[in-house]
Structure 1
Amino acid sequence: MSILIFNRLPYYDVPYDKWLEDLNEPLVILTTEKLAPEFQANAYVLSFENYDYNNAVEFAALQMAKHTPFRRVVATAERDILRAARIREHLGIEGQSWESAIAFRDKVKMKRLLKAANVKVPPFAELESVIDLVLFIEEVGYPVVVKPIDGMGSRNTTILYNDEDTIAYLNEGLTPHLEVEKFIEGEMYHIDGVVLDGTIQLCWPSKYLNSCLAFQEGKYLGSYMLEPQNLLTARLQDYVTSVLRVLPTPQYTTFHAEVFHTPQDELILCEIACRTGGSRICEEYRQAFDIDLTKLAVQAQCGLTVTVPEQVRQKQGPKAQFGFIGIPPKQGVFLAGPNVDELPDWVTEYRLLAEPGQYFDGPHTSVDYAVTILVRGDTEREVLARLEEVADLFERNSVWKTD
């Protein structure tokens, strides 16, 4: 027997061979051409062009299953959740079901389930034609948000503020699988954690800097963890717990929820995913709680016994306050960034993703970055100030040849 892994993440975040070495089982990893070399030393690896949309990925998995039976199927990225569920269901393998996976991936199904359970969600509708859009706008008014039902990273998400925006949007033609929802005024929070054996072991909120659509204006995206004494901390934890109780949550999973806090003091779900949050959220939690969300979920899904630190079991909160930013690339050629020695000692991780001489045509999703930076502080206020300071430092000390 072997473990099948669908992978979209770099080796430094998901060293599956180390995590699963106690199983003494072969690992089969299906991944992108760019990432494949990182995993080839200790696993059988198949790489694919256009990995996200390439259905030959699933075909290859089914062909291998004929002569290499899989005991577990693992997916750690949003694009692979449905793939893995389909394969499990077809082969009769234990793990997250199709019903569970689609409830977390299909934003319309997700909101229907939650609305039926009286959990607050934005007014929404499935968008199959222009008539659906017109009727929805007439009902709720502008602004509205149009996005893919199964989207991720805020890709192809558009806010329509008036008829002129709507006409410009429709000029491109409606794509399949869209939803429209009322634009919610308010501040956005993300809540991340892990479920083990059906119990939420960790659930902690952070506040976004800028919005998830800030990349469309070339602005950085980031967030900072809330302090235990922040009045919203417990409220957001309770709210997300209620969401996970309504949805068919897997027995072992990480989760990443995004929630609006409105000027009327309401909490309204934007969406929730059954995987670890993107950007540097996983590393942030490693440093704040001595816990690797993805590692725990992968090990538990594969049958290994896992435990969480005492600090987490006692619901004590992070050992310090942390935050991160991801700065998107400009349009042009990246030449150089600041030297690591120039960074303050409260920068706990600095990942320069842009390479000298690399050309960018700007960001395309909320997680397209030239650099990610993680900082530590004693309070929310201090972390926020340090995030702003280090963003300015990177801007001043980076060299671009712009178009």
Structure 2
Amino acid sequence: MNIVIINRWSDNFADYIKLINHSENNIFYVTNKNGSVYLQGKTGYSIHFEVDDLTSETVLEECINTCIEKFGRIDRIIAMSEYDMLIAGYLRTKYKVSGMSHQTALNFVNKIHMKKALYGSDLKYPKYTDNLNNIEDFCENASFPLVIKPKIGASSKGVRIAETSNELMMHIMSLDNKEQYECEEYISGPIFHIDGIIFEKEILFVKGSKYINTCLDYERGKPLASIIVSDNDLQTRFKNFAKKAINLLGLETGIFHLEVILNNDELVFLEVGARQGGGEIVPEIKHLYNIDLIEVFFKTQMLLPFSLNENKTSLIAGFLLIPEPKNVPCKVTFHNSMEHLKSLVYEVKPDIGTVLTGSGGYYFNSGRFLFSGQEEQVLNDIHQAIENYRIITEKPILIGK
């Protein structure tokens, strides 16, 4: 087959060399500068395009056209990152390549399209508007607090909460491009993420987890943790909710990361992605259930068969992410270890001397921890790590300054 892989990841998080036979297929990589790092020292692919902007339709069309001129057709377009799904859907639709269409990609990337897809169903979702130029009409039918967020984005980046009309107008006036944002009502209650696999509209695997703090808290400098829910009845509700939502959004086969709020014992849709969840969700599910979400995700994009050898267990797991300090850039001079905690599976900390820049997200941060065991032990150890983990930094010496 002739396969285009759009890649912006520098590491082996998705190791395409292992996932697909490069000697039996023509593999064309389209990467940005960061994504090119993955290919260093690797061979077997046919063409590599390095581009400045992976979201540019014009630039990627040129790459696709070059491949078609040389090899006659494109059979698959692979995009594993949230930020590349929309362009991949556009290209599949334009060039009639099998896989997720542009419209389905919009439903899983654009927060307005997500909620529109649920319209008329019995699934609850926040009141919303994308007309920020006429926000007064929306405010007449919605109560504060209200949430301003980018229509396209992840990890709560760019999200703001307005407690009053004055705050709301200040937030809106500060936006460079109001057309790229939406406003929705704030729904109170604990937030859960539901991670699963769907095949031909049926859920094959699904697990719901409860956040400790929120993704927005993490953006503001607080630790973010998550623990798999042990309540079987609640897990059944998660599965039923997910099946309805994913089917309405148009994903028949693939993986998903769905976020919901439990408001007065009612599940409310927050947002969804047709991809793996962030943080330590992928290694957590692989460790506990022997399911590799990245491998499944790749195979579903390739339209290849896959098998699940799920490990059945009564244990649960959880993870903890420690954000970068506020005083970035800064150099790491010390951190302690949480290895004494009974349920700790691993800890990943920045090397001493590492310069943190403030752009590390969930991955290159002040510390990542995975826990597994009995629920009480895991929950206790997460809180112990939040209380006791320490990282010390200093301002780096900038050469030439």
Aligned-pair distance for 1:73? 0.7
The residue number in structure 2 matching 1:261 is 262
Partner-residue secondary structure (3-state), 2:149:
strand
Aligned with residue 317 of structure 2, among 316, 322, 340: 322
| CA separation of 1:254 and 1:354: change in aligned 2, threshold 3 A | farther
Cα deviation for residue 219 of structure 1 reads 0.3
Alignment of 1:41-190 (within 5 A): 41-42=42-43, 43=45, 44-49=47-52, 51=54, 56-68=59-71, 69-129=73-133, 131=134, 133-173=135-175, 175=177, 176-190=179-193
Counting only pairs closer than 5 Å after superposition, residues 2-401 of structure 1 correspond to structure 2 as: 2-21=2-21, 24-40=24-40, 41-42=42-43, 43=45, 44-49=47-52, 51=54, 56-68=59-71, 69-129=73-133, 131=134, 133-173=135-175, 175=177, 176-227=179-230, 229-249=231-251, 251-262=252-263, 264-311=264-311, 316=312, 318=313, 320-330=315-325, 331-332=327-328, 333-338=330-335, 342=339, 344=341, 346-353=343-350, 356-360=353-357, 362=358, 369-379=365-375, 381-395=376-390, 398-401=391-394
Secondary structure in structure 1 of the residue aligned to 2:305: coil
1:337, 1:24 → 2: CA distance? Answer: 48
Query: How far 1:127 moved relative to its partner?
Result: 2.5
Distance in 1, Cα, partners of 2:322 & 2:91: 36
Q: Secondary structure at the match of 2:379?
A: helix
Q: Is the 8 A contact 1:187 1:260 kept in 2?
A: yes
Shift of 1:96: 0.7
Instruction: Tell me, in whole angstroms, the C-alpha distance in 2 between the residues paired with 1:25 and 1:325.
Output: 39
d(CA) in 2 for partners of 1:34, 1:186: 38
**C-alpha contact (below 8 Å) 2:89/2:101 kept by paired residues:** yes
Alpha-carbon displacement from aligned partner over 1:256-300 (angstroms, at most 9, x marks no partner): 0000001x1111000111111112211111011101112112123
1:117-145, Cα deviation, whole Å (9 max, x unpaired): 2311111112241x2x2221222121101
Query: Displacement of 1:363 after TM fit?
Result: 6.0
Structure 2: where are the runs of 5+ without partners?
A: 397-401
Cα separation, 1, equivalents of 2:338 and 2:284: 21
What is the alpha-carbon distance in structure 2 between the residues aligned to residue 372 and residue 63 of structure 1? 41
Q: Give how far 1:328 is off.
A: 0.9
Farther off after superposition, 46-55 or 286-295? 46-55
Q: TM-score, normalised by structure 2?
A: 0.88
Q: In the alignment, is the contact (CA less than 8 A) between 2:331 and 2:355 conserved in 1?
A: yes
Change (3 A) 1:61 1:374: farther
Q: 1:321 to 1:341 in 2, by over 3 A?
A: closer
CA separation of 1:351/1:66 partners in 2, compared to 1, >3 Å: closer, same or farther? farther
* Cα 1:401–1:5 shift into 2, 3 Å: same
The structure-2 alpha-carbon separation of the partners of 1:303 and 1:185, relative to structure 1 and needing over 3 Å to count, comes to closer
Choose 37-46 or 99-108, whichever is displaced more.
Answer: 37-46
Q: Quickly say closer, same or farther: Cα 1:232–1:162, change in 2 above 3 A.
A: same
The RMSD of aligned alpha carbons is: 2.6
Contact 2:152-2:180 at 8 Å conserved across structures: yes
CA distance in 1, matches of 2:113, 2:2: 33
How far apart are residue 320 of structure 1 and its match?
A: 2.5
SS at match of 2:259: strand
The secondary structure found in structure 2 opposite 1:34 is helix
- TM-superposed deviation, 1:82: 0.9
Match for residue 399 of structure 2?
none
**Structure 1 CA distance for aligned equivalents of residues 34 and 113 of structure 2:** 33
CA distance 1:252–1:157, shift in 2 (3 Å) = same
Whole-Å Cα distance in 1 between the matches of residues 352 and 123 of structure 2?
A: 45
Percent of residue pairs bearing the same amino acid type: 23
TM-superposition CA deviations, 1:100-159 (whole Å, max 9, x none): 111112211221221222311111112241x2x222122212110111112222111111
- With the length of structure 1 as denominator, give the TM-score of the two structures: 0.88
The answer on whether the counterparts of 1:259 and 1:270 sit within 8 Å (CA) in structure 2 is: yes
Q: Secondary structure at the match of 1:21?
A: coil
1:209-245 per-position Cα deviation (integer Å, ceiling 9, x unaligned): 1011002431011211112x44322111111111112
Q: CA deviation at 1:76?
A: 1.1
Residue 343 of structure 1, CA deviation = 5.4
Q: How far does the alpha carbon of each residue in 1:50-88 deviate from its partner, in whole angstroms, 9 at most, with x for none?
A: 556796345433433332432111111111111111111
Unaligned runs of 5+ in 1: none
Compare relative contact order (CA 8 Å, sep 6+) and give the higher one, 1 or 2.
Answer: 1
Cα separation, partners in 2 of 1:304 and 1:141, compared to 1, 3 Å? closer
Q: Which amino acid aligns with 1:208?
A: Y
